Each structure stands twice: as structure tokens, then as C-alpha cells.
Amino acid sequence: MSNSLIASEFSGVPVTGIAFTNISLNKPVLKYQPLNNTSSQSVSPLALDSSSQPSTILWLDEVYFLVLYNNKPFFELMNSNDISRIDQHINLVISSNPASCSSATYDKSNNILYLMDTSNRLYTYNFDSFADLKLEESSNYVIVELNESISKISISPLDNNKLLLMSNTLYEFDLQSQQIERSINLFVEKTNCYQIIDSSILISSQNDRFINLIDLLQFKVQTIFVSNSSIIKFELIKYKNKSILAAIDEDGFVEIFKDALNIQNLNGNESEKLTLNSKRRRRNGNKLVTSIQSVCILKLFNDLNGVKSFNKIDNIIFDHDQITIAYLQNENYFILDNFNWFSNKFDQPEILIQRKKQSIDRLKIRNDDKASLNIYKEDNQVTIRTGENFIDLDPIVQEEEKVNGEKEIDDEDDEDNGDDFNTLVSRLEKTTENKINNKKKESNKFQFKVGTLTTNLSQALRNNDTSMFDTIINNTTDENIVRSTISQLEQNFILKILDKLSELLYKNKFKNTNEAAEFGMGNASISLTTWIRYVLIYHGTYLISAANGNGELRRRLGLLGMSLEIRSGNMNRLLELKGRLAMVSMKVAVTRELENLDTNGEADFDEED
């Protein structure tokens, strides 16, 4: 797993997106990246509290997913269509011993969510995606028979009224009687990954190389899959007469186990890899447990100037006959690579996969709209620089400028026929005067109309034209224009422009400016802060009322606050350095003046002698 990645989870099959949390600017950030063909690949970030420790992401359907925290007595429901805000915040029961979420599972057939906290309290929620409060608690109680905290929970494939509770031990829990019926000891440490397949379950543990296949009918271990290093995550698929198990180890490699559910049909060289481990007998039977080694390892590598270096694979998923591997690009965006596992024989000990050389631009960080300026190629396109050239859109003013220009040309022609330009000196003098006059005319001929910029900005926000929005923000530098534009902007665009400005500031997506360099920010963030400042000044009251209180507003502005906090961290040092440089410059200037005075005094003294 990449260094900054905390957790990631695909939305399911067919794969439509991936939700993940990672560390950005020293703080956790929740992101969603759509992966289907119907939408552009983009990443929507939501800054989390710096003290939060996201542990688990659980998808309820193709749209909604949960985020569980290790150290918080609550969990949150997110809408993948808009993760700029939290769809629902659910608190746990507050007791003398504060507890946090440990695991959750969702029963899709009955639309019921089961959640366990660290005090072994079991919560039951009804899920309704069309209701205002989509998750409503129906019951909660503590399972007193448990002596250890549960790390994973699942619905039993044999009976929807039974749960499988996993830790160091696997428990079968009956929801009606609220009693533990069966249990089996498995690992030294807690369970970190599991998967239900037919009437069996696959389980792995933290810092352990074994994946146990357990028959839930007999509640016994049937097979043990042995990897080369500790298991991080695994996926198993069964298709027609074939099955395959892929496991990510702590080195970031994917180890392949062929015919994981059909070991009795193995022959040839593959059968030689099966070993009978007499030491792994279980208490409830004398049958020997079969252990299986991996037959192939998938390794991701990067080739730099002929030197190969291996990278970690962060996630895997089977999509019918395709196996998809995912890895982070620049610690922020997922790159996918897939190949057909059904036709691949995996007859090589290693399969090397070269890392794709995709840049952030190719990932399309923002949505590529049909109304985008990148696609719009009309000849009369106007580039916004300072806001002054919007006057070019007025045909009447253009005609007046053409008439004035023709008059100036006629005057110049008449003057060329006179005696003033008989000499080269007079021509040069006249050229200089014309240049000065032209500069004065250029500085006065454009009378900017703020309403025009407000209209264009509203249109960009209404149509989600991110390219046009970026162009307006990046090239409008006059503070008076910004102030007037924001004051005239309609209130229904305020939350949207604030979200977009926060996203731009977070991504640091602008060229250098003198103002930014003066404030030690190294980019055009001073322009962004100007926009944000006037949004808060003119529409602060509306923001508070529209965001349902100050608490919700702080959540919505979390990304903005995090970016500004990081950027302002070195401000005091930069101001101190600026003061020192000013003192040194002043001292040098004074020293030079004193030297000049001494030199002039000595010269005058010599002349008097």
C-alpha cells in the first residue's frame, strides 16, 4: 500500500468508482474517483478533521458509502455524486467507556446495516436512500459473551438471521436469541480481510501469511493458502469451472492461487505444490488440512533510464473475466490496469507489469465539459486578461474605434505631406509623441462593465464550465473588479463558487504572480484569497444560513481552512526575513551615502589646498 493511502474500496461489480482516504498536506482527505466510461475521470476531495483516523470504507450501493473512524464515536454516510458535504452524520451511544466503530456489514436483501463498536455493542440501522434521514437506528445492545473486540462482521450465507463475528476467533452469532452458537480459534492477531464464497468463508489476519478457507456447515478449516509475506487484502472469484485467488502482500505484490476451490482436480506440476501439513489439525476432527502455495506473482515496476524499481499495488478487484489492479499516481489519483485472468495460464513464476506513464493532466482532474473553452474554437473567442477587453463585445464601441483609427491614419498621412517631417529628427520626435498619445488612449479607451464579467461568471457556474471559470479567476487581477463582480453575483451561485475556489486553492493550480511572491506564497493564491475574501464579506450571512449553522459551514470550508493553514504556516518566518532584508538594504544605502559624503569632502578639501 502506498505511503499516504489509508483505505480504499471499489464500488462493486461492475466497477463504477473507487472511494479512498489518504494523507494530503499532513491531514486526512476523503476522495472519490469515478471509473466508468460514462463520466470523466475526476477526483472530488473532502478535507477531514486532522484528528480523524478513517479505517474502513463500506459501500451500501452504487451511490452511497460509509466512512468509519478508529478514534471517533460516530460514522458518516457519503453520497459519491457529491462528497463536498457529509450526507448524514450518525453518532454512537455515549457511555462511560467511549467507543468507536470497528466494523460494519450491509444486508442488501433486507436493506439493514449492522455495525459493531469497540465495546462490542451491535447496532442495527434501516437504510432508505429516498428518505431525509437515510439511516435510522432500530436497535443496539452489547454482546456480553465476547471477551475480545471484533474487527470484522458479515452476514452468514446460510442464514440472514445469523452474523459472523471475526477477531482472533470466528464466531457465529444468532440475532434472534442474541447468543453465540459456534466458534473456532484461527489467528494470533485480529482479522483484517474476509470474503464469503458459497457456503464458505476466506479469512486472513494482520501480520500473517495464511488465508484460511472455512466450511461454515461444519465450521472447520478446509484449506490454507500460504503467501510469501503478510496478507494485506485478497479477492477470490469463481467463474464457470475455474476459480482464482489473488492476494496483495505487504510488499505490494499480487500473489495468484490457481483453482482455489477445485484443488482436487489439480494434476501435473501443480499437484506437486500441494503439501499435507500434519501440524494443522483442528479440535473438531482428525482430517488433515491442505496448504497451497501461490503459483505466480504479479509485480508492478517502473522503468527509469533502464533502471527497474518495483512499486506497490494498492487494490485489486475481479470484474467478470478481468482482474483489475489499482495504484496511486502522485499519491493522489488511481491508475488502473487490467488483463484477462480466465484465459491466462499463469504458468510463469513472475509477471511484470510496467507502470503506466500517465500524468495528472491525462487523468482529467476536472470534468471535461462540452461547453469547455478547451473545446470551444470559434474565431471570435475573447480571452479575459484584466476584464477590460470585454468592451470588444460591444459592436458600437468597435465601430467608433474603427472610425477614430481611420481619422488618425488620415491625419498622419496629411502630416507626412507637410514640412514637419522633412528631416529625420522631426520624424523621430513625431513618432515618440504618437507613442505617448497612443498609450494614453489605450489606457482610457476601455471602460470595463462589471455586469459583463458577472454574467460570464454566472454562466460558467450554471453550466459547470470549469475551464471558463479557471480562465476568469486566473486572469482577473483588478481587486475593484473582483469586489464589484462578487457583490452583484446571485446568491444561488455563492456556495458553488466558494467550493470551486477552495478546490483551486487546495490544488495550487495557478501561475506565479508578483503579488503572490510578495506574500511568500509562490503562486496566484493571492488572487484566489481576494475572491474568497469578498465572497465572505458580501455573502457571509447567506453562507451561514444556507449551510445550516456554523458547524456545518466549518465542515464545508474544511478544505479551504486546511489549505490556508498550511500556506500561512511560514508567513511569520517570511515576514521576519523580509524585515531583515529591509534593514540590510537600508544599512547598505546609508553606508554608501556616508562614503559619498566622505569622498566629496576630501575632494573639496584638496581643491582648497
> Which pLDDT belongs to residue 364?
37
Phi, psi dihedrals of residue 17, rounded to the nearest 5°: 180, 175
Question: CB atoms < 10 A from the CB of 515, how many?
Answer: 16
The pLDDT of residue 448 is above 80: no
> Residue 235 maps to which CATH number?
2.40.10.480
% residues pLDDT > 70 (the chain): 70
Q: Any idea which residue has 494470533 for its cell? A: 188
% residues pLDDT > 90 (the chain): 29
> Which pLDDT belongs to residue 453?
81
- The answer to whether residues 338 and 201 belong to one domain is yes
Q: Is residue 546 part of a domain?
A: yes
Least confident of 18-22, 46-50, 155-159, 519-523: 519-523
Tell which wins on pLDDT, 481 or 387. Answer: 481
pLDDT interval class at 191 (50, 70, 90): very high
- The answer to whether residues 232 and 342 belong to one domain is yes
> Which pLDDT belongs to residue 348?
86
- Give Cα 539 distance to the centre of its chain: 28
- The answer to whether residues 454 and 328 belong to one domain is no
pLDDT interval class at 77 (50, 70, 90): very high
Tell which wins on pLDDT, 21 or 553. Answer: 21
- The answer to whether residues 208 and 345 belong to one domain is yes
Q: Is residue 93 part of a domain?
A: no
- Give Cα 213 distance to the centre of its chain: 35
Provide the grid cell at 116.
Answer: 459493531
The pLDDT of residue 404 is above 50: yes
- Treating both helix axes as pointing N-terminal to C-terminal, what angle do 479-488 and 450-462 enclose, rounded to 10 degrees? 60
Tell which wins on pLDDT, 425 or 57. Answer: 57
The pLDDT of residue 505 is above 50: yes
The pLDDT of residue 593 is above 50: yes
- Distance, in Å, from the CA atom of 314 to the CA atom of 232, rounded to the nearest integer, reads 9
> Which pLDDT belongs to residue 357?
64
Quick: pLDDT tens for 95-142. Answer: 657 788 999 999 999 999 999 999 999 999 999 988 888 999 999 999
Instruction: Please tell me whether the peptide bond between 73 and the residue prior to it is cis, using omega within 30 degrees of 0.
Output: no
- Per-residue DSSP letters for 53-93? -EEEEEESSSSEEEEEESS-SEEEEEETT-TTS-SEEEEPP
Domain closes at, from 329, 357, 385:
357
pLDDT interval class at 446 (50, 70, 90): very low
Quick: pLDDT tens for 196-206. Answer: 998 999 999 99
- The answer to whether residues 339 and 206 belong to one domain is yes
- In Å, what is the CA distance from 388 to each residue of 382, 436, 437, 448, 584? 11, 20, 19, 5, 40
Provide the grid cell at 32.
Answer: 472519490
Q: Is residue 388 part of a domain?
A: no
| Contact partners, residue 58, CB within 8 Å, separation at least 6 | 9, 65, 66, 68, 104, 105, 106
- The answer to whether residues 350 and 218 belong to one domain is yes
- Distance, in Å, from the CA atom of 507 to the CA atom of 504, rounded to the nearest integer, reads 5
Q: Is residue 418 part of a domain?
A: no
> Which pLDDT belongs to residue 171?
95
> Which pLDDT belongs to residue 90?
93
- The answer to whether residues 329 and 216 belong to one domain is yes
Average pLDDT, integer, range 441-456: 56
The pLDDT of residue 342 is above 80: no
Range of the domain at 293: 196-357
Quick: pLDDT tens for 262-310. Answer: 754 443 344 444 444 444 444 444 457 888 999 999 999 888 877 888 8
What's the chain's average pLDDT? 76
Average pLDDT, integer, range 414-432: 52
Least confident of 88-102, 302-316, 594-608: 594-608
pLDDT interval class at 379 (50, 70, 90): very low
> Which pLDDT belongs to residue 420?
46
The pLDDT of residue 56 is above 80: yes
The pLDDT of residue 437 is above 80: no
Q: Is residue 410 part of a domain?
A: no
The pLDDT of residue 224 is above 90: yes
pLDDT interval class at 67 (50, 70, 90): very high
Q: Is residue 523 part of a domain?
A: yes
Q: Is residue 184 part of a domain?
A: no
pLDDT interval class at 176 (50, 70, 90): very high
> Which pLDDT belongs to residue 434?
63
The pLDDT of residue 602 is above 70: no
> Which pLDDT belongs to residue 286?
46
Average pLDDT, integer, range 70-96: 86
Instruction: Kindly report the three-state secondary structure assignment for every residue of 288-347.
Output: CEEEEECCEEEEEEEEECCEEEEECCCEEEEECCEEEEEEEECCCEEEEEEEECCCCCCC
> Which pLDDT belongs to residue 5?
87
- Treating both helix axes as pointing N-terminal to C-terminal, what angle do 494-507 and 558-567 enclose, rounded to 10 degrees? 40
- The answer to whether residues 349 and 469 belong to one domain is no
- The answer to whether residues 222 and 350 belong to one domain is yes
Domain closes at, from 299, 326, 357:
357
> Which pLDDT belongs to residue 19?
92
Which long-range CB contacts under 8 A does 601-604 form with residues at least 24 apart?
none
Q: Is residue 299 part of a domain?
A: yes
Tell which wins on pLDDT, 50 or 202. Answer: 202
> Which pLDDT belongs to residue 549?
53
Instruction: State the pTM of this model.
Output: 0.60
| Total number of domains constituting the chain | 2
Domain closes at, from 357, 378, 399:
357
Tell which wins on pLDDT, 321 or 556. Answer: 321
> Which pLDDT belongs to residue 376?
46
> Which pLDDT belongs to residue 592?
87
> Which pLDDT belongs to residue 141?
93
- The answer to whether residues 200 and 334 belong to one domain is yes
